[in-house]
Amino acid sequence: MTKKTKTILIDFDGTICQYDGWKGAAVIEGKPNPGAVAALLKYSTVFELVIFSTRAGTVEGRDAIELWCSINLPDSLRGLSITNIKRPAILCIDDRSWLFDGRWPSVNEIDEFLPYYKEGRVPTITVPLTFTGLLQMVRALLFK
Ligand SMILES: [Mg+2]
C-alpha cells in the first residue's frame, strides 16, 4: 500500500457523528451522520484521514472517540489518527467553520452562525460510490 501524501482533517461532533450539544468529553450519543461512513471510505482511498476534535484534548475524550469509531465504523477505517491539534492538511471538513474566500464575515454573521443541525437540516449523501465502495459499505453494515 502506498503512503497517502495528502491529509484531510475531519471534525467529529456534528460532522462524522450526529450531535445535539455538549454533554461531556466522554459522552458521545450520536450515530454516524448520513453519508459519513460512505464518505470516509471513499476519502480513505485517496487521502490520509485525521479526526479532528476538541474532545481529543483529554484522555477520556480521545478514548470515547476511539470506542465510538470501533463500534460505528467499518474495520477498514480502524486506526484513524485522532487529534485536537490542527495538523497540516489540504482541507478541513467541519460543521463550524467559515469558508474564507477573501471576505471576512461580519460580526453579525459570526454571532448568528448556526451549524446545519441547528437550522433543522440533515446531512445529504453526495459521495458517489464505486461498485467496490458499495461492496465495502454493504460488508461494513452486514458484518458489524
Ligand atoms: Mg463539530
pTM attached to this predicted model = 0.85
pLDDT tens readout for residues 23-73: 999 999 999 999 999 999 999 999 999 999 999 999 999 999 999 999 999
85-95 average pLDDT score: 96
CATH of 7-142 among 3.30.70, 3.40.50, 3.40.1520, 1.10.260: 3.40.50
How far apart are the CA of 15 and the centre of ligand 1, in A?
Answer: 6
pLDDT tens readout for residues 98-115: 999 999 999 999 999 999
How far apart are the CA of 16 and the centre of ligand 1, in A?
Answer: 8
Residue 38, phi then psi, degrees to nearest 5: -60, -40
How far apart are the CA of 2 and the centre of ligand 1, in A?
Answer: 30
How far apart are the CA of 84 and the centre of ligand 1, in A?
Answer: 12
| C-beta atoms surrounding 20 within 10 Å | 11
- The pLDDT, as a whole number, for residue 3 is 81
